[in-house]
Structure 1
Amino acid sequence: MTKSFFILLIIFFYITNAYQGALVKTEYYTEVHIVDALPNNDIPLTFHCASKDDDLGYHHPKVGDDFHFEFIPRIWFGHTLFFCHFWWGNKQAMFDVYTYELSVNCSKDENPNDYCYWKIQEDGFYMGPSLDQVRKLHDWN
């Protein structure tokens, strides 16, 4: 009896992880924003973002541009992870832009959707719940 219950529990978690989009309310999502706040467009910023399942491509924003994407975060095994590789002149950096652990830096609205903002500046990478509430998390390499 215990072994059957354990097997059913594993199957339940597998199904909910695979089909979580259907099980989680569709209005709940996370939105990640990456904003180019560099001093000018003389040296172009380039970045490439991806997750295990999604390649978001290469982007070449201008100063002030806001690239953003949204997703329904995984709530069971293997939390959602998105990472980006950034290039600016001879500088570069690569790091996670969204993980469950980083989500504490995001804001929630009444739905409760999450909004995560990354502000790319000359001295590094800042994250917060809005563009005017960010703290530095990474330097350029």
Structure 2
Amino acid sequence: MGSVSKIVFLVSMLLTILVVLQFGKANSFLPTVYEHIINNMSNTVLGVHCKDKHHDAGFGRINFQEMYTFSLKPHPIVSVTLWFCRFTWNNDFQHFDIYVQKRDAKLCRDCTWFINSSGPCRIKGTSLDCFPWNPKVAIVY
């Protein structure tokens, strides 16, 4: 087998593997990420609805200190996975990108968030990493 034939063979094998990972059951090779969302607002029932472009984790209602959990699979090749949640309480609502693969992939596979009226805070080691809410825009659910 000549050197050009070996290169063509290797490139075709690599492309075959990439196609299988992209369109096959690639997600079975990736670790599942678990998102735990805790209502940290006393005397308030928190509505939670999380989804990405293709999946919907469903709506949940959680009382103070209760937890809503869903799982997701990050994209196997490109860091493009994005899950966002809509939070509703009393007469208010906010949105937050709860899982951004570029931001979160190396930080946690079992993420715990405390939801406060001022924004969500993620447990990071022994401290909290707090974030602002997304800007309010019209999102169709």
- TM class, shorter-chain normalised? 0.7 to 0.9
Distance in 1 (alpha carbons) for counterparts of 2:63 and 2:106: 25
Aligned length: 129
Pair 1:127-2:122 in alignment: yes
Unaligned runs of 5+ in 2: 137-141
Q: CA RMSD in A?
A: 2.7
Which residue does the alignment assign to 1:111? none
- Would you say the 8 A contact 2:96–2:133 is kept in 1? no
Pair 1:48-2:43 in alignment: no
Aligned with residue 27 of structure 2, among 14, 21, 35: 21
TM value normalised by structure 1: 0.73
Give the letter for the 2:19 counterpart.
Y
Shift of residue 74 of structure 1?
Answer: 1.9
Shift of residue 91 of structure 1?
Answer: 2.3
Unaligned runs of 5+ in 1: 108-113
Identity %: 20
Give the letter for the 2:37 counterpart.
I
- Which shows bigger deviation, 54-63 or 86-95? 86-95
TM value normalised by structure 2: 0.73
Shift of residue 33 of structure 1?
Answer: 0.8
Aligned with residue 38 of structure 2, among 31, 35, 45: 35
| Per-residue CA distance 1:56-111 (angstroms, 9 max, x = gap) | 1111111111111223322213532211111122322112111212316834xxxx
Alignment of structure 1 residues 61-80 onto 2, 5 Å: 61-77=62-78, 79-80=80-81
Which residue does the alignment assign to 1:98? 99
Structure 1 counterpart SS, 2:18: helix
- Would you say the 8 A contact 1:83–1:98 is kept in 2? yes
